Amino acid sequence: MSTDDLTQGLAAALDGRDADVRRQVRDQLIPHAGLLHEADELPRDAYRERVRDLLLEMTKSGLTGLGFPKEYGGAGDVGASIAAFETLALGDLSILVKSGVQFGLFGGAILHLGTERHHEAYLSDVVSGRLLGCFAMTEHGHGSNVAELGTTLTYDPDTDELIVTTTDANAYKDYIGNAAKDGELAVVFANLVVAGEKHGVHAVLVPIRVDGRPAPGVRIEDDGPKMGLNGVDNGRLWFDDVRVPRANLLNRFADITDDGRYESSIENPNRRFFTMLGTLVQGRVSVGGAALGAARSALTIATLYADRRRQFGSGDGQEMLLLDYGQHQRRLLPLIARTYALTFAQEVLREQLHEVFSAPPETVETQTRRELESRAAGTKALATWHATRAIQECREACGGAGYLAANRFAALKADTDVFTTFEGDNTVLLQLVAKGLLTDYASDFEDLDQFGMVRFVTGVAVETVLERTAAHKLLERVRDLLPGGDSWDQEAELRDPEYHLAMLRFREEHMLGGVARRLKRGVDAGGDPAAVFSGVQDHVIASAHAHVERLVLEAFTAKVDKLPDGPTKDLLARVCSLHALGEIERDRAWFLEHGRLSVARSKAISREVGALCRELRPSASTLVEAFSVPRELLRAEDLIG
Amino acid sequence: MSTDDLTQGLAAALDGRDADVRRQVRDQLIPHAGLLHEADELPRDAYRERVRDLLLEMTKSGLTGLGFPKEYGGAGDVGASIAAFETLALGDLSILVKSGVQFGLFGGAILHLGTERHHEAYLSDVVSGRLLGCFAMTEHGHGSNVAELGTTLTYDPDTDELIVTTTDANAYKDYIGNAAKDGELAVVFANLVVAGEKHGVHAVLVPIRVDGRPAPGVRIEDDGPKMGLNGVDNGRLWFDDVRVPRANLLNRFADITDDGRYESSIENPNRRFFTMLGTLVQGRVSVGGAALGAARSALTIATLYADRRRQFGSGDGQEMLLLDYGQHQRRLLPLIARTYALTFAQEVLREQLHEVFSAPPETVETQTRRELESRAAGTKALATWHATRAIQECREACGGAGYLAANRFAALKADTDVFTTFEGDNTVLLQLVAKGLLTDYASDFEDLDQFGMVRFVTGVAVETVLERTAAHKLLERVRDLLPGGDSWDQEAELRDPEYHLAMLRFREEHMLGGVARRLKRGVDAGGDPAAVFSGVQDHVIASAHAHVERLVLEAFTAKVDKLPDGPTKDLLARVCSLHALGEIERDRAWFLEHGRLSVARSKAISREVGALCRELRPSASTLVEAFSVPRELLRAEDLIG
């Protein structure tokens, strides 16, 4: 098989179902590659205008609205819409994020939280870009803890209107994309009050700008310069008793009747809130996928550079290629392997999302939705942290040249940095994952905060978790999968995927059991739930992390299994081994501490990681060429020619 | 003792000998705090002008030239000059770097590589800022491997001139500070050719700009926008057979005689080159110290924020402070502790530098110089990596607000990012450290590249290293220091500083011995030195890392020992324990693998780190207040009021 065929085989595996959509988006980005240069040079206002204009031009292709129903100009294809968004991340990331604000958050909220009257009134204009809007959830005082938003939405039966009010100094909406300049309409999240009774957070449509000026009662401030994404006009919004018609309430899950009564199909206010939030899961899936796109660009540049840059003699007069240094292989190859792994995990997530959102809502089990939300949260956290780390490592691996804006890392770093904390702070997201695991996604408890979780876990459910994660049971299950009987973890081949999976499954379950035990012990000893939680929080997060790592490895392993025999499969199997052994090596202290690695085997794993890096070194450029980042978008002419 | 007294006690410990100089620099920065805001808003050209003008204004205080001899306007105080530079890092970092280019690199090269005729002609103008200049070493094709520079310096006996030539497409000087706009004179590093004979890299003074235009034969290009430090005018230089008088050669270590012969007090060309480079060690010391200043700013903001920001309920209606979450303590407190540790390690380095450069050159042993260079390289690597990590963690710990430029992290991240690769790539620097350790700073071998080192180490010296690092000897030495006899590592108190030191010393020596053994085995088996080195490179770097970590801990421990008994000492002792146990925890896999940690003790150490974080939590704000970053320079009004 030629290198080209191999590259294509890998690219096809990475692209998955929507290869054609991805190709179209790449083709669409190439003529606008100049924006990457303009972003360095234009003043902020002009850059914002360019981004808006280009985004509007790109909407014409229909690729930005694939997820919307056909009757409003979309394609009714959620999976394809995520694939398109992921690919958009190969270009300027302000375009990406502005697109995400407009179509994912603003349009998505109208689609998922609104009903036909809102769809009819707005969706066509949203999809075409004629109506630009905002998703006004986060407040200055409340980012992660959205349930505590200070903005109120009070129903006035006299005028049949809703009144939007910024109630205190910290309750203004902050960091809102499209707010500072372009947005005309906002989906505003606020605590609804009807007839003096509070009903929790709801969403309402509020015009914020008319003919380019703030609407009456609305105050708008620019968030000013940011670390990156300066083509997006983030801003702050204050509402001084702004009145909108009752019909502006996005009323899919709750409504105010003609006679002024509040009604909802979901009784529990917390559960209602989380159901509403759940429909917005696409945002997290999108950010995780976009982060991987940015990591692809960085790894492509650093790897191609290392495969042509020579530095220091090798004794025979010719200097040595950077990529022939063991340390350099260790820097880049595991990051490439992890990018593959997370891409396949993202594919599983994207397909599950597509299934859930393509099915009639009433046919989808609550548990399925919760598992999807958990997987989205966890994958987003791991993918965005990975992107931050990979881009940083790649920048350093290109030395001082990596510092010049023309070589792409400046924007990649600055623009993606916020990914780890927006659409859910990664740490908070991993807690969400842990909560799901500890409560088995019990729908009755989805609305608990972490302290509620503490109480719950130490109650009835703890027995279930402890039972399930009892060490002997774990080992029994693993033993049946691998040769070697009770000493499977000594006997298994180091590159056996079943061994890797067994190790990651064991870690996950053992950690989870440990958290449950610690929580129970803390509360049994009469501890305050907040203090108990605080003391065990790093274990909570570690167990969520371990869970998602297992999902990621399962996705990679399953992907390799499904490929037809041949060089592509062989190569990917080795990349998968490198990813799996790299993860076991990274956390080998834990495995040593928990009796799953002997000292000799731990050292053998480190050696095997080094050996895999050397074996994969000749394929390094092929592996990144398969990321399919168009040459025009990489810039970096000095580095990779 | 009041909190204020405690803060002052800590601040005094951090400030060290030059507290007064540091205070003066802080006072000087405050009125220019507005530059931090302007940096976000000004176009690049205007920002550069502001930086130049402010730097020129700041030279008037004399604080930027403290390291130069008194007769040229300096204070002849190397230690104070580093302290001033470190403190300058609390302000805009373009000012810092432009100052470093002008006074450290350009002025430093004239001072250390030139002789009286250059000092008389230039130093007063350099110190006063009347003459701005460049340090033109790095080329596009050669950054780390400076010995291979392509620029040539050819002596023409007919005119008694030196001809500077950019010989090929990759030999142009790149990333040169002050080149794009302000520099008039450059110290150019080039390969000297006299009478057809090559003599290696030497430095020469070349005028590059006259009346604001490139000098004849000099081509200048702007490096354009960078990730950060956009107030510094980095550029590229090409020399088209530019002629300068013979007297422009910086001739402290080598000269061309009146009759056109080359002569040097140092015979070996490589050793000569490394001796010249060695005089420039201040640059690395300065960058490491500056990185710690930037880390201080970031940690101050994130910690003060976490001590007032509440998010998520604690059950009693009031939301909980971020800093009361276990995970948040784990994020910030070890980074604070490590900043203290590296600050004290930097103090030792600064004092050694001061001693070496204050003594008559002929009285300083070569070994002493080599050890200083090694310590400077290692401390720079650890301090700059620490800064990158700490700033990133702090940004994430401030959520979306951390992304706004007004909250300081944008500039901190972007400006410091290059620290890990300039003034020596960190990975290359750690190899330099390892080379010193493996060859015992043997002056005959200082000029070896890594492959030469491989051959050397596997020769005579390997026996010395192996002898010294034999496991039983290591343990013998440790045993005498600690109670518990042979089982000291099981018996010692977890917070005993001697235990921490013993662990880090054991690791260092054991790793070093391992590298020596591996190199020997590789070469004995007939391996090509390049391949042998590549295969063992990660161990080489790890052992250098372990060495520097030991130096850092020794510095911290010694600092605590010297403090008078009292609350400051008690607090710092706990910070030191957190730092030490955090490092042992981070690398506990290695200690488990090498029989120095039992599983039970490994887990106990993780628990102890958690316990120390909880104990130190009430002191967190005090610990960062002692960093003494002026409030005006922190900006971040939304975060810390």
The per-residue pLDDT for range A271-323, each reduced to its tens digit, is 898 889 888 899 999 999 999 999 999 999 999 999 999 888 765 678 899 99
Taking the Cβ of residue B517 and every Cβ of chain A, the question of whether any pair is shorter than 8 Å is answered with no
* % of chain A beyond a pLDDT of 70: 95
C-alpha B356/C-alpha B363 separation (Å) is 9
* Residues of chain A positioned with their CB less than 8 A from the CB of B405: 224-227
Question: A639 CA to chain B: closest CA distance, Å?
Answer: 10
Contact A314 B530 (CB under 8 A): yes
Q: B400 vs A417: CB contact, 8 Å cut-off?
A: no
Which pLDDT does position A1 carry in this prediction?
74
Contact between B312 and A144 using a beta-carbon 8 Å cutoff:
yes
pTM value surpassing 0.90: yes
Give mean pLDDT, residues B565-573: 97
Average pLDDT, stretch B560-586?
Answer: 98
> Tell me, what's the pLDDT at B420?
96
Strands B254-256 and A161-165: unpaired
Partners of B595 on chain A (C-beta within 8 Å) are 599
pLDDT for res B529: 81
Return the structure tokens found at B215.
Answer: 């000098």
The angle subtended at Cα B76 by Cα B74 and Cα B79, nearest 5°, is 110
CA A631, CA B302: separation in Å to the nearest integer?
Answer: 39
What pLDDT is attached to residue A438? 85
Tell me, what DSSP letter sits at residue B103? Answer: I
SS3 A154: strand
Q: Which residue has better confidence, A54 or B361?
A: A54
- pLDDT at residue B443 in the model: 55
Number of Cα atoms under 13 Å in the Cβ half of residue B376: 26
Q: Which residues of A touch B536 (CB under 8 A)?
A: 326
| A261 — pLDDT class (breaks 50, 70, 90) | very high
CA distances for A7 relative to A293, A308, A438, A622, angstroms: 17, 19, 42, 6
Residues A106-128, mean pLDDT to the nearest whole number: 98
Beta carbons within 10 angstroms of residue B270's beta carbon = 17
Is A403 in CB contact (< 8 Å) with chain B?
Answer: yes
Whether chain A has a CB inside 8 Å of the CB on B409: the answer is yes
Q: How confident is the model at residue A455 (pLDDT cuts 50, 70, 90)?
A: low
Q: Confidence band (pLDDT; 50, 70, 90) for B456?
A: low
Closest CA to B109 of B137, B75, B142: B137
**CB-closest option in A395, A409, A529 to B315:** A529
Determine the average pLDDT of the residues in B384-412. Answer: 96
- pLDDT tens track for B511-547: 999 998 898 888 888 888 888 888 899 999 999 999 9
Cα→Cα distances B112→A274, B82, B103, B370, Å:
67, 16, 12, 16
pLDDT of residue B139: 95
If one counts every other C-beta atom within 10 angstroms of the C-beta of residue B19, the result is 14
* Stretch among A91-105, A121-135, A479-493, B93-107 having the lowest mean pLDDT: A479-493
Give percent above pLDDT 70 in chain B: 95
> How do residues B224-253 score in pLDDT, each as one tens digit?
999 999 999 999 999 999 999 999 999 999
What is the average pLDDT value for chain B, to the nearest integer? 93
How many Å apart are CA A205 and CA A185, to the nearest integer? 7
pLDDT digits (tens, 9 = 90+) for B22-79: 999 999 999 999 999 999 999 999 999 999 999 999 999 999 999 999 999 999 999 9
**Tens-digit pLDDT profile for residues B201-226:** 999 999 999 999 999 999 999 999 99
What per-residue confidence (pLDDT) applies to B314?
61
Q: Does B400 touch chain A (CB under 8 A)?
A: yes
Say if the Cβ atoms of A315 and B225 lie within 8 Å. Answer: no
Which region holds residue B399: left if phi is over 0, alpha if psi is between -120 and 50, else beta?
left
- Residues 6+ away with beta carbon under 8 Å from B462: B516, B519, B520
Q: What is the pairing mode between strands B213-214 and B209-210? A: antiparallel
pLDDT value for B455: 67
State yes or no: pLDDT of B447 exceeds 60: no
Given a cut of 60, is residue B425 above it in pLDDT?
yes
> Is the Cβ–Cβ distance between B191 and B139 less than 8 Å?
no
Nearest residue in chain A measured CA to CA from B601 = A593
pLDDT for A520: 86
Specify whether the CB–CB gap between A622 and A3 falls below 8 A.
Answer: yes
Of the candidate ranges B10-24, B466-480, B551-565, the one whose mean pLDDT is the lowest = B466-480
CA dist., res. A462 & res. A588, Å (int):
28
Q: Are A185 and A208 in contact (CB under 8 A)?
A: yes
Q: Looking at residue A523, what is its pLDDT?
A: 83
A116 is annotated as an active-site residue: no
Of A399, A535, A538, the CB nearest to B143: A399
- Is the Cβ of A405 closer than 8 Å to some Cβ of chain B? yes
For residue B535, the model assigns a pLDDT of 87
The mean per-residue pLDDT over the stretch A254-265 comes to 97
Mean pLDDT value across residues A335-363: 96
Please report the pLDDT score of residue B458 as a whole number: 63
Q: Indicate yes or no: CB of A530 within 8 angstroms of CB of B315.
A: yes
Contacts of B40 in chain A (CB under 8 A): 224-225
Task: Give whole-number Cα distances, A163 to A153, A154, B83, in Å.
Answer: 5, 5, 58
Q: How far apart are CA A37 and CA A612, in angstroms?
A: 38
Quote the longest CA-to-CA distance of chain B: 90
Interface membership of B50 toward A (CB under 8 Å): no
| pLDDT of residue A465 exceeding 70 | yes
Report pLDDT for A466: 74
Mean pLDDT of chain A: 93
- Could B315 and A143 be called an inter-chain contact, meaning their C-beta atoms sit closer than 8 Å? no
Average pLDDT over residues B544-560: 98
**Range A85-95 average pLDDT:** 98
Q: DSSP alpha helices (H): ranges in A398-528?
A: 409-416, 426-438, 450-456, 462-468, 471-479, 488-491, 497-524
Q: What is the pLDDT of residues A562-588, one digit of tens each?
A: 999 999 999 999 999 999 999 999 999
User: Has residue B355 got a pLDDT over 80?
Assistant: yes
Distances (CA, A) of A475 to A210, A482, A502, A638, B481: 65, 11, 9, 54, 43
> Among residues A184, A347, A373, A423, which one is catalytic?
A423
Q: Reduced to 3 DSSP states, what percent helix, strand and coil does chain A have, rounded to the nearest 5?
A: 65, 10, 25
Cα B328 versus chain centre, distance = 28
Q: Which of residues 143-182 of A touch B (CB under 8 A)?
A: 143-145, 148, 174-175
CA gap B394, B300 in Å, rounded:
9
pLDDT at residue A451, as a whole number: 66
CA-nearest of A393, A395, A391 to A330 is: A393
Name A409's Cβ contacts closer than 8 Å, sequence gap at least 6: A298, A301, A391, A394, A395, A398, A402, A403, B227
Global ipTM: 0.94
* CA B560 and chain centroid, separation: 23
Is residue B123 within 8 Å of residue B107, measured between CB atoms?
Answer: yes
Of residues B312 and A494, which shows the higher confidence score? A494
Could you report the per-residue pLDDT of B287-305, keeping only the tens digit for each? 999 999 999 999 999 999 9
User: What is the DSSP pairing of strand A185-194 with strand A133-136?
Assistant: parallel
pLDDT at B132: 98
Residue A446 pLDDT greater than 70, yes or no? no
Among B86, B184, B347, B423, the active-site one is B423
Q: Where are the beta strands (DSSP E) in B9-110?
A: none
